[in-house]
Amino acid sequence: MENIINNIPVTKCEKSKISDVDFNNLAFGSVFSDHMLVCDYKNGAWETPTIVPYQPITLDPSAKIFHYGQSIFEGMKAYKDTNEDVWLFRPMDNCKRLNISAKRLAIPELPEAYFMEGLKALLKLDSNWIPTNSGGSLYIRPFIFASGNGFHASPANAYKFIIATAPSGAYFSGKVKVAIEEKYSRSANGGVGYAKAGGNYAGQFYPTQLAIQKGYNQVIWTDDNTHEYIEEAGAMNIFVRINDTLMTAPTSDRILDGITRKSIIEIAEAEGINVEVKKISVNEVVEAAKNGSLKEMFGSGTAAVVSPIAAFGYKGTDYDLPELENSYASLLKKRITDIQYNRTDDPFGWRVKV
Ligand SMILES: Cc1ncc(COP(=O)(O)O)c(C=O)c1O
């Protein structure tokens, strides 16, 4: 061990890879910073985290992650302001959500200090990796998986918590065309939809591939029972604006409690926008599209912040959304990113300095 940061032992890499990286051409989540945080759960307790060079991990073929899918993760970002100060956005919410996911997947909960102090130590060490170009950020991926062995279907007795980071450029999703799902479900009552569990995403891929074959970019998930209510947009929460009311579905067993979603609700209300958290029926959205009162639909999530929807398909018909000059989507994206990058004050107390 060469170093201690925030009480975390650090083994530094011998040579940084940073000079090989073109910071002006970063595909999202595909280049990784020099170090990662690793913390093992063994013999009934989480051990002290350590920071080591970013590297592959070796697992036994019987490791339970491969068979029973005990795997959860988070997604968050670090932002550098013009003074080179580094900021996180509501990081405790990610920490708490990781433990909500852990509980549901019978994974032992992680001490919050390991998450927060470990993350801050990692960011201090790899702060050069946080992009400074406009819209750039360091994407942070904390995750836990079952590393314990055995071909029997029961929770593992060993786990690994890792935080890896990936510099990313501004994320422009473009305007997307979405299909409202009429058959498949992302999640169900009593299931794991509210957890950020790897299997939720595996289950989304096939229906999404089918939608892509039909010319759409993404699926709008509907409730598993009737498919009459819209719930999420791909791996994002969803907002619908009818006239000047902004609506989003209430969180439930089936919906991820997105940090961007709840921030957008608060910012929109502070801007004087009428926000309704309510079940949104496909019928009311289709009717609004037909009578011209449907103004906007957008997804919300850490990666893209807001992702405007250009058109949606339902029961064989496509409906276009209007091009608005002063959309709620662009206003809300500006407000939230201004807070994240420390370009404005933070009346909500969401920013945390590293
Ligand atoms: C299924 C799903 N819904 C919503 C979100 C948005 O959550 P957040 O705003 O916390 O990134 C995510 C993750 O980004 C997600 O995976």
pLDDT digits (tens, 9 = 90+) for 243-268: 999 999 999 999 999 999 999 999 99
pLDDT band at 175 (very low <50, low <70, confident <90, very high): confident
How far, rounded to the nearest angstrom, does the alpha carbon of residue 295 sit from its chain's CA centroid? 26
Residue of minimum CA distance from atom 14 in ligand 1? 301
CA of 227 to the centre of ligand 1 (A): 20
Determine the pLDDT at residue 2. 64
Residue of minimum CA distance from atom 7 in ligand 1: 258
261 CA distance to ligand 1 middle (Å) = 8
**CA dist., res. 188 & res. 255, Å (int):** 9
Q: How far is it, in rounded angstroms, from Cα 82 to Cα 80?
A: 7
Whether 256 is in the pocket of ligand 1, judged by its Cβ within 6 Å, is: yes
**Cα–Cα nearest to 246, from 275, 289, 272:** 275
- For the segment 108-130, the average pLDDT, to the nearest whole number, is 97
Q: What does pTM read for this prediction? A: 0.96
Q: Which residue has the higher pLDDT, 172 or 354?
A: 354
**End-to-end CA separation in angstroms for the chain:** 23
Residue nearest to atom 16 of ligand 1 (CA): 235
CA of 256 to the centre of ligand 1 (A): 6
pLDDT band at residue 41 using 50, 70 and 90 as cut-offs: very high
Average pLDDT of the chain, as a whole number: 96
Task: Tell me if 13 sits within 8 A of 34, measured CB to CB.
Answer: yes
Q: Is 143 helix (H, G, I), strand (E, B) or coil?
A: strand
Where is pLDDT greater, at 321 or 175? 321
The pLDDT assigned to 105 comes to 98
Q: Is the CB of 302 under 6 A from ligand 1?
A: yes
The pLDDT score that the predictor gives to residue 173 is: 66
The alpha carbon of 1 and the centre of ligand 1 are apart by a number of angstroms equal to: 36
| Nearest-atom index, ligand 1, CA of 93 | 10
Q: Spell 74-113 as b/e; 16+ CB within 10 A means b.
A: bbbbbbbeeeeebbbbbbebbbebbbebbebbebbebbee
Which SS3 state, helix, strand or coil, does residue 42 take?
Answer: strand
